[in-house]
Amino acid sequence: MQIKDTIKKLRTDYKYTQVDLADMLNCNRQKIADWERGKSTPSTDDLILLARIFDTTTDYLLGISYVKTVNPEINSINYALGLSSLASCESASESCGSRCSMVRPLAESCSEQLYG
C-alpha cells in the first residue's frame, strides 16, 4: 500500500475528516488532500505526528512494516508517565479518554518501582 492510501485509510478508520486531521497537524485541509491524492508527501515531522495521532509507526505509514500499531498498553503507560509527546498534544490526547485514567495507577506504581 502506498503512503497516500495508508493515510486515507487510517483517517477514515479513525472517522476523521480532512479538516479534523489538518487541525491536529496545524495545517490546512488542502495539504491532507494533496497527500491522499499522491500530489505530495508528508515531511518527516508530519510523519511523526501522523504516527502519534494514528497510534502507529512511521514504518507502517511508509509501507516498510506491516505491523500497524505498537502495544497500546505501553503507549498508555508512557502517556500516563508523561514520556509520550502525545501528553502535550490536546487533539490526540482527547482520543485517549478513560484508557489513560485506568492505566495511571499502574504506571505510577511501575515508575515508583523503577525509579524509587
Domain count along the chain: 2
Range of the domain at 31: 3-62
Q: Are residues 49 and 79 in the same domain?
A: no
Q: Are residues 51 and 15 in the same domain?
A: yes
Q: Are residues 58 and 85 in the same domain?
A: no
Q: Are residues 50 and 84 in the same domain?
A: no
Per-residue pLDDT tens digits for 34-67? 999 999 999 999 999 999 999 888 988 998 877 6
Per-residue pLDDT tens digits for 61-109? 998 877 676 666 665 665 666 654 444 343 344 444 444 454 455 555 5
Q: Are residues 8 and 57 in the same domain?
A: yes
Question: Is this model's pTM higher than 0.85 or not?
Answer: no
H, E, C per residue of the chain: CCHHHHHHHHHHHCCCCHHHHHHHHCCCHHHHHHHHHCCCCCCHHHHHHHHHHCCCCHHHHHCCCCCCCCCHHHHHHHHHHCCCHHHHCHHHHHCCCHHHHHHHHHHHHHHHHHHC
Is residue 101 in some structural domain?
yes
